[in-house]
Amino acid sequence: MFNKRIRIKTLLAIEETNYEATVMGWIRTFRNNQFIALNDGSTNNNIQIVATLGMFDEALLKRLTTGACIRASGTIIPSLGKGQKVELKATTIEILGDSDAETYPMQPKKHSLEFLRENAHMRFRTNTFGSVFRVRHALAFAIHKFFNDKGFIYLHTPIITASDAEGAGEMFKVTTLPLDGTAPKNEYDNINFKEDFFGRSTNLTVSGQLEGELAAMALSDIYTFGPTFRAENSNTTRHLAEFWMVEPEVAFNDLEDNMTLAEEFIKYVIKYAMENNKEDMEFLSLRLDEEEKQKPQSERSDMGLLEKLKFVVDNDFERLTYTEAIEILKNSNHNKKKKFKYLIEVWGTDLQSEHERYLVEKHFKKPVILTDYPKEIKSFYMRQNNDGKTVAAMDILAPGIGEIVGGSQREERMDKLIQRMEEMHVPVEELWWYLETRKFGTCPHAGFGLGFERLVQFVTGMSNIRDVIPFPRYPKSAEF
């Protein structure tokens, strides 16, 4: 069998020596015509392969360039070099794939994150992105484990939908009709989507929530975890056009239950990554420390990455209402001295990222759960509170990135829901199937959405969301 290899991470964890092993991977460096640093992506640490002088053909040695893929077999021996306990003394080296040293983009030197984004097809081979994507994997696994252990059912909601769950209207259209102006028209001279593949106008989903609610009304505890899309022309470090969302929906939960579940969930997945990816987390923490040193003193974080994550895991999140938050912000020195780009003057203002980060990073210095927002700035499906002004919504705000979770108790009362939909011009007739859950056996229920990339950003300390998804999609960019 060709692939009788041992992963480098496994090999480096074994204490014994003097046994035969085969490794495969990509060359990071080759020095003195003798020492190969090989990496296979299982860890940032390389295994040193010793190609004894005079033992290998000169033509082969010339092909041992950075980026080349090789298979090496030999004996695992104690290493005399610093920073490694063992090395592989090669008896055979086979080139699996050559790499042109002159044009290979991932040279063994420091590259800017912008350069690596432009070479996203190769950036997995760097230590930073190796760590980021191993941590991303751990977080994804932890999400499934958390909900599975609680008895939740994983639901696959549709990627192509005919509804706009958020009422935002910023959606990617899905059509098979020609784009050259020859698409069939209706009597109003608009495109006749009845002639389209699905017989109606469809788009890529912005959320699996509405479909998730349908399942929760029969299965009680469900969650979705899949791709979502926003055609929002945002070129920021916090937005993507394609991203992944985690969305649990739970029958018989109220707002308080919803907050408790979300807080437990966030703490669980962060703790899982810290315990199971220690090596990568330590590397990312050191990387962030170096990045922080480049900032002015006033912009530096009070805590290192690991310290911040431990603080989140070990402490209760601060819970307060939107009204209380507005008073804090309005009376803050930041607001009085006009340091906010958007000043807080009246109740009802939609909070911006700068306000959320002030509450989290300056005022409370811990994650914050804000509740009971004005109904005018929230979605139609959120349960209306008795005051007639606010809804049973909740957002979790995290240090460094602002909102990481948005959720609510859902409006289970048919009359209230229809009234709100009409007020917000949400087409009642198109969502007849959603309303039927309120008609046949309605019950209190709640749920939330967590932007997975925001979570990965928070845990890895990466400052740009484009660096925590393998192939970022954003305005004017769909290269890979």
234 lies in the same domain as 369:
yes
Q: How confident is the model at residue 34 (pLDDT cuts 50, 70, 90)?
A: very high
Query: Is residue 274 a contact partner of residue 310, using CB atoms and an 8 Å limit?
Result: yes
- Assess whether pLDDT exceeds 80 at residue 52: yes
Among 329, 339, 263, which residue's Cα sits nearest to residue 298?
339
Predicted local distance difference test score (pLDDT) of residue 168: 58
pLDDT tens profile 172-224 = 999 999 999 999 999 888 999 999 999 999 999 999 999 999 999 999 999 99
- CA-nearest of 386, 388, 183, 142 to 277 is 142
Cα torsion 454, 456, 460, 464: sign = negative
Q: Tell me whether residue 140 is in a domain.
A: yes
Q: Is the pLDDT of residue 169 over 70?
A: no
Residues 65 and 134 in one domain: no
Q: What is the 3-state secondary structure (H, E, C) of 265-324?
A: HHHHHHHHHHHHCHHHHHHHHHHHHHHHHCCCHHHCCCCCHHHHHHHHHHCCCEEEEHHH
Q: What is the mean pLDDT of residues 242-253?
A: 98
Q: What is the pLDDT of residue 3?
A: 86
Q: CA–CA separation, 297 vs 53, rounded Å?
A: 51
pLDDT > 90: percent of the chain: 86
Count of other CB atoms within 10 angstroms of residue 62 = 11
E strand intervals along 84-125: 86-97
90 and 45 inside one domain: yes
The tens digit of pLDDT for each residue in 94-119 reads: 999 999 989 999 988 889 999 999 99
Q: What angle do CA 314, 316, 319 make, to 5 degrees?
A: 160
In this predicted structure, what is the pLDDT of residue 401? 80
325 & 291 share domain: yes
Helix (H) or strand (E) holding 71: strand 69-78
Domains: count for the chain: 2
Which structural domain range is residue 73 located in?
Answer: 8-109
DSSP E strand stretches across 155-233: 160-161, 173-174, 202-204, 221-229
Closest CA to 319 of 358, 354, 357, 366: 366
100, 157: one domain: no
| CA pair distance 478, 480, nearest whole angstrom | 6
How do strand 368-374 and strand 202-204 relate by DSSP bridges?
Answer: unpaired
DSSP assignment of 387-402: TSSEEEEEEEEETTTE
Assess contact for 285 and 461: CB atoms under 8 A.
yes
Burial of 321 (0-12, 13-18, 19+ CB in 10 A): middle
Q: Say what the pLDDT of residue 299 is.
A: 76
In a domain, 178, yes or no: no
How large a percentage of the chain has pLDDT more than 70? Answer: 99
Q: What is the mean pLDDT of the chain?
A: 94
Which pLDDT band holds residue 408 (cuts at 50, 70, 90)? very high
In a domain, 321, yes or no: yes
Tell me whether residue 179 is in a domain: no
**Tens-digit pLDDT profile for residues 377-388:** 999 999 999 999
- Answer yes or no: is 233 within a domain: yes
Domain ends where: 109, 139, 158?
109
Residues 444, 326 within the same domain = yes
Q: CA–CA separation, 149 vs 182, rounded Å?
A: 53
Identify the CATH number of the domain in which residue 333 sits: 3.30.930.10
Residue 428 lies in a domain: yes
Same domain, 319 and 349: yes
Residue 473 lies in a domain: no
User: Do 132 and 77 fall into the same domain?
Assistant: no
Q: What is the pLDDT of residues 435-470, one digit of tens each?
A: 999 999 999 999 999 999 999 999 999 999 999 999
Task: Check whether residue 215 and residue 276 sit in a common domain.
Answer: yes
399 shares a domain with 446: yes
pLDDT for the residue numbered 163: 81
Asked if the structure places residue 46 within a domain, the reply is: yes
What count of Cα atoms within 13 Å lies in the side-chain half-sphere of residue 78?
1
CATH code, 98: 2.40.50.140
Is the same domain home to 443 and 396? yes
pLDDT at 103: 94
On whether both 335 and 392 belong to a single domain, the answer is yes
Q: 405, 442 in Cβ contact below 8 A?
A: no
When pLDDT is cut at 50, 70 and 90, the band that residue 83 belongs to is confident
